Structure 1
Amino acid sequence: MAGEATRRRCLGHVAAGAALLAGCTSHSDTSTSTEPPASHHAAVAPVGDLTLTGVPDRAFVVFPQYADMAVALGHGDAVNAIYVPEMSGPTMNAYYDRLDGVDFDYGGLPDPLTDGFTPEECYALDSDVHFVDPAYVSTQDAWDARDIETIASDVGPWFGNFYSGTRADPPQGYRDGYDYYTLWELFGRVADVFQERARFEALRRVHETLVATIADRLPPKRDRPTAVRVTYDEGSFYTYHLNEPGYWLADTRPLGARDAFADADWASLWGTVGYETMLDADPDVILHLWGATPNYEMDAVRSRLRGDAVGGRLSAVANNRVYASGMRYQGPIMNLFQLEMTAKQLYPDVFGAWPGFEDGGSYPALPASERLFDRSRVAAIVTGDAQ
């Protein structure tokens, strides 16, 4: 988004009731006849409707689903911050390595959560838009309602929806009118910010075809494996549901495996269980969340599980069905690959065997006949070469 800071800070206005003035001019504009810049609209709960006077070329991101959305829409270069770049960046690129002409340059990007998220970071980065839910921001120690409003008016608007991730209740003050979105509904709203509706629609069709392909081939529920999604750490398993609502489960819910902890009601977004409880559930498949990121060496995880007197008795361990799973903070491109990956991990007899990730490596180069979606089509959409 070219132009001076005054114009960037007029990127968005929140509609509240009556119609609002579209567009703005810089302080150097003195002619009353100056035509306001062309405007467009984007809306998301809990922010509301924004009138935008340009496409952002500095986009503040915390969680990487928004960075993946920006890449998918051809605006990855706009991202100026991201959560744990040394984890998020390589993980995203592990998928992009299978898409000609697509990559994400994360070098030098700051992590806004390193020392606690602060208003000062937003002022320093001077972003055109902040892809963060203000309801989430309100839970951070350094922020109050005035800070949230000031950043939106003086720097750039907020645009995000965090609590759709698990359909959790947002904090007090944001519960009235808080709408929940699927991953792809949220992606469409981000596409409106970048004025990239055509790219979004094209990618959505790829996703719909992939989900339909999976749904058509799933075995009856009685024949599906039991599974858990966990993160293993020092003898404990942080456990997550598979089939609940929320975009954090957008890569497991469509696969419909039988959740070994479906009846567990954890007080937080996850539970913590030990070896004995895991053995009582004894799932057929263990999907290790974050296993496809640089944060975990899956060979070492499997070795520790096998070496434990109880862990070695788990069916998933004995049958070599402990798999590296992806990130829950997934955007649309990541979701396509993670759906394909999880389909193969859960149902190898139906969708083909999963060859496995090499620690630190790219997404496997599957033969064309074993792919569940068209890489060349996705790459062409993202790079703008689609016909």
Structure 2
Amino acid sequence: MSEDIGGRGAPTRRDYVKYGGTVVGGGLLAGCSGQSGSGSTPVETNTDAGTETTTDDGGYTVELFPVGEVAFESVPESVTTYNMGWADMVVSLGQADKLQTNRLSAPTLFYDPLDIEYDNDWPPLWQEGGMPKEVFYEHDPDVFLVDPNMIQAWDDNWKDSDVEEIETNVAPFFGCHNRRMSSDWQEEMGYPDRAPTMLEAFDKVGTVLDERARTDAWLELHEELQSELQSRLPSDDDTPSYGLINSGSSPDTGEFYVMDMTDKGYEKKPYRDVGVVEDDAFQHIGGGQAKVDYETMLEVDPDVIIVHWGITTGSVTFDGDGAFDAEQFRENFVTPMEDDDVGSQLTAVQEGRVLPGPTAEQGPLVNAFQTELTARLFYPEVFGEPDLDAPLDVPEEEQLFDRQRVRDIVNGDL
């Protein structure tokens, strides 16, 4: 697949990063990692196996949109990332000791029961409204699992030359900002159609880290979990309506940020997989990204209100201990709705169905727990009523995946 950049002269590095390929003639040869196609409830599966090309000097290259083919002289021994989802990919592969990041506090909720430890005492890449280039030198890893387009979109101080400088003097970039793909820059660069799914990106990371066996074991576990999930999902059309609000909402002041479950990216994967996107009560309000008040909430009046990021909001911060605090969740989100004259009329409030939803950042390990949680939140009569004091504690007979199998994969007991 090639794309024409005719009329603009020699392609810039941004052009190269944009199309994720090698310059050939007057166009660009693009790597086409697929995204789930249209459909009401797509299930994310792995459709693009990690590919590796061995070089003459004993190194290898791995291709990923949007960065194209990236060369590695040897298997990276240290990894820096910004997105917790990409960090979870590394942890899932049993390589937590390679991580150099501060962005892992929230997943301790998922890691502590498995006795997974990591070092998050590294300076953050994001500091005071930007990503100073000096911190990339300070980390000095073998690879940055970071999308350079994201850096340039978020920090105007970064130019193509800065990306090239870091790649030359420190390490290559191997990442894609595929959690959410609604930004203008992502639309312009074709992310919604060409960015890899979470599993496709994970497959590539597994190849980079030379962890083929663990990668394949995770893909098998994911397929088994999805098969079990899909076989038990109710087919009854008379399902409740659901409303998704961002955890940045402020029930105290009556400001709610409603969200569209159908958005592309791994952020909404659990909702898609449990098949509830068509019952999303807010998807037609301001494109599913609007700020609304109590009156608008009551006009829609969903049967269930899910607080996106709720499982890690409030009690879990990047400096926190990783424990979910049901009392704080209730204080932040439920009690203010109950105390408001309009909010108290909401069906979800009256029926005690304002619930903590999954966090947005997830690799295969966090996603396994969150898929199970999401199924229990939406279909408690089928998958079991979640314990809102400890949402991830699931009786063994109700679990959708084997915890010991997860431990074995992470530990390399394959």
Query: Normalising to structure 2: TM-score of the pair?
Result: 0.77
Cα shift readout 1:335-366 (whole Å, capped 9, x = no counterpart): 111110010010000111111145xxxx5332
CA drift of 1:282 comes to: 1.0
- The answer to whether the aligner puts 1:227 opposite 2:246 as a matched pair is no
Cα shift readout 1:174-206 (whole Å, capped 9, x = no counterpart): 459982221111111111111112111111111
**Contact 1:135-1:174 at 8 Å conserved across structures:** no
Aligned to 2:156, which of 121, 141, 144?
141
Aligned to 1:213, which of 228, 250, 259?
228
**Contact 1:132-1:158 at 8 Å conserved across structures:** yes
Letter in 2 for 1:293: T
- Gaps in structure 2 of 5+ consecutive residues: 1-19, 25-52, 316-327
Aligned to 1:29: none
Letter in 1 for 2:329: M
**Contact 1:98-1:375 at 8 Å conserved across structures:** no
* Cα separation, partners in 2 of 1:22 and 1:326, compared to 1, 3 Å: same
Cα shift readout 1:131-190 (whole Å, capped 9, x = no counterpart): 111111111122011001111122111111114633655359845998222111111111
Aligned to 1:49: 69
Aligned to 1:94: 109
Letter in 1 for 2:330: D
**Contact 1:275-1:310 at 8 Å conserved across structures:** yes
* Cα separation, partners in 2 of 1:163 and 1:67, compared to 1, 3 Å: closer
- The answer to whether the aligner puts 1:341 opposite 2:373 as a matched pair is yes
* Cα separation, partners in 2 of 1:339 and 1:249, compared to 1, 3 Å: same
Aligned to 1:73, which of 72, 93, 100?
93
**Contact 1:238-1:271 at 8 Å conserved across structures:** yes
Aligned to 2:398: 370
**Contact 2:192-2:264 at 8 Å conserved across structures:** no
Letter in 2 for 1:131: L
Aligned to 2:267: 248
Letter in 2 for 1:275: Y
Letter in 2 for 1:112: L
Q: Distance in 2 between matches of 1:171 and 1:344?
A: 33
Aligned to 1:303: 335
CA drift of 1:104 comes to: 3.3
Aligned to 2:212: 197
Letter in 2 for 1:110: P
Matches within 5 A, 1:314-353: 314-353=346-385
Partner of 1:60: helix, strand, or coil?
strand
Farther-moved stretch of structure 1 (230-239 vs 372-381): 230-239
- The answer to whether the aligner puts 1:188 opposite 2:203 as a matched pair is yes
CA drift of 1:15 comes to: 7.5
CA drift of 1:375 comes to: 0.6
- The answer to whether the aligner puts 1:155 opposite 2:170 as a matched pair is yes
Farther-moved stretch of structure 1 (273-282 vs 209-218): 209-218
- The answer to whether the aligner puts 1:383 opposite 2:411 as a matched pair is yes
Report the count of equivalent residues.
346
Q: Distance in 1 between matches of 2:148 and 2:125?
A: 15
Letter in 2 for 1:225: P
Q: Distance in 1 between matches of 2:282 and 2:80?
A: 36
Aligned to 2:386, which of 346, 354, 359?
354
Partner of 1:97: helix, strand, or coil?
helix
Q: Distance in 1 between matches of 2:348 and 2:184?
A: 34
Query: Kindly, what percent of the aligned residue pairs are identical?
Result: 32
Aligned to 1:259: 280
CA drift of 1:315 comes to: 1.2
- Gaps in structure 1 of 5+ consecutive residues: 1-13, 24-34
- Please give the root-mean-square deviation of Cα atoms over the aligned residues, in Å: 2.5
CA drift of 1:253 comes to: 0.9
- The answer to whether the aligner puts 1:16 opposite 2:22 as a matched pair is yes
Q: Distance in 2 between matches of 1:180 and 1:341?
A: 26
**Contact 2:80-2:145 at 8 Å conserved across structures:** yes
* Cα separation, partners in 2 of 1:176 and 1:338, compared to 1, 3 Å: closer
Q: Distance in 2 between matches of 1:285 and 1:166?
A: 26
Query: Normalising to structure 1: TM-score of the pair?
Result: 0.83
